[in-house]
Structure 1
Amino acid sequence: MNTARTARFAAAYALLRAGADIGDHLVQSDHCARTKGATDAAPVTGDDGTVHGTAAGRKACAVHCLTYSATQAAALLLGARALGLRLRPAQVAAALAISGLTHYAIDRRVPGGLLQRFADATGKGNFYRLADHGINGAARMDGAVHHGLETIAAAVLAR
């Protein structure tokens, strides 16, 4: 077993996960959170009465993914410095690309979007649509996919 690689993987995953949680729940603006899934067929109305369609949804999701990735980058760079980890720039860029680009694909959540289609195809459509008893199935499935992809990103960083 390569203990240095194992330690890099564990540290990278923890730093990516912390950055993701902060980026998703503390840095993301309310506007981005509410608008990122908007489409012309399923618009979102803002507090000021503005109706947001596909273009606004794409922009809000892109802005969110940029701030999300920047937060993960800050967590990685600050954490690596504090821990004395040597991460290679190309691997950091690849890991952030994996996390950020897939985050966009998952978070657009347009009706019939990638995650909803996966849920329906695997018999988990009812759970995906669950929004009761303190549980939101779409949010839980979203988080699970993000965690899995961050694990792949951490493996890239550990190489």
Structure 2
Amino acid sequence: MTDTFAAVFVALYAAHQVADHWIQTQHQADHKGKPGWVGRWNCVKHVATYGVTQLLALALLAAVTDWRPALVPLAAGMAVNLATHYIADRRTPLFRLALATGSAAFWKLGTPRADHNDNPSLGTGAYALDQSWHVGWLFVAALIISV
């Protein structure tokens, strides 16, 4: 199971990077955290393409190795993965978690000030917390899928 878990995790992580940074449209990124149906719909579209990207990576893994995923653990692991991705990308739940855990200051780290472009960087505290949330749940999903 150790080799299977490692391969599944790497496939999910690689696909996560591609889906979150290449496949996701700018429109989805800009709107998935908005309140109401506009935000929900854009988040659903992002999570759908994210899931397809990860399933393609897992299919490629199965095609080039002797790994044959069991349907129930695969479905359960992907359900956990996609649900937690949606929760994080709606932004408010993750911000509330940051508040509850004392990480609000880190969440705001690097946020540009209103009417200023004074943070030309690749990330903020919010981005770091978002990505660490995703990777943690990828670990759980890989454990479930590998059973």
Give TM-score scaled by structure 1 length.
Answer: 0.83
**Does residue 24 in structure 1 map to residue 20 in structure 2?**
yes
Matched residue, 1:127: 106
Give me the whole-angstrom Cα distance separating, in 2, the residues matched to 1:81 and 1:157: 16
One-letter amino acid matched to 2:106: F
**Cα offset, 1:130, TM superposition:** 1.3
One-letter amino acid matched to 1:147: V
Residue in structure 2 matching 1:147, options 135, 143, 146: 135
Q: Which runs of 4+ in 1 moved over 2 A?
A: 132-135
One-letter amino acid matched to 1:93: A
The count of corresponding residues between Structure 1 and Structure 2 is 138
One-letter amino acid matched to 1:95: G
Q: Deviations over 1:98-126 (max 9, x none)?
A: 111111111001xxx21111111111101
Give me the whole-angstrom Cα distance separating, in 2, the residues matched to 1:90 and 1:27: 27
**Cα offset, 1:26, TM superposition:** 0.7
Q: 5+ unaligned residues in a row in structure 1: which ranges?
A: 40-53
**Cα offset, 1:141, TM superposition:** 0.3
**Cα offset, 1:74, TM superposition:** 0.5
Residue 131 of structure 1 aligns to a residue in which SS? coil
Give TM-score scaled by structure 2 length.
Answer: 0.89
Matched residue, 1:9: 5
**Cα offset, 1:156, TM superposition:** 0.7
Q: 5+ unaligned residues in a row in structure 2: which ranges?
A: 112-118
One-letter amino acid matched to 1:20: H
Residue in structure 2 matching 1:62, options 16, 21, 44: 44
Matched residue, 1:158: 146
Matched residue, 2:29: 33
**Cα offset, 1:89, TM superposition:** 1.6
Matched residue, 1:51: none
One-letter amino acid matched to 1:22: V
Q: Is the 8 A contact 1:27 1:68 kept in 2?
A: yes
Aligned-CA RMSD value:
1.2
Matched residue, 1:42: none
**Does residue 93 in structure 1 map to residue 44 in structure 2?**
no
Aligned-pair identity in percent equals 36
Give me the whole-angstrom Cα distance separating, in 2, the residues matched to 1:22 and 1:66: 14
Q: Is the 8 A contact 1:8 1:157 kept in 2?
A: no
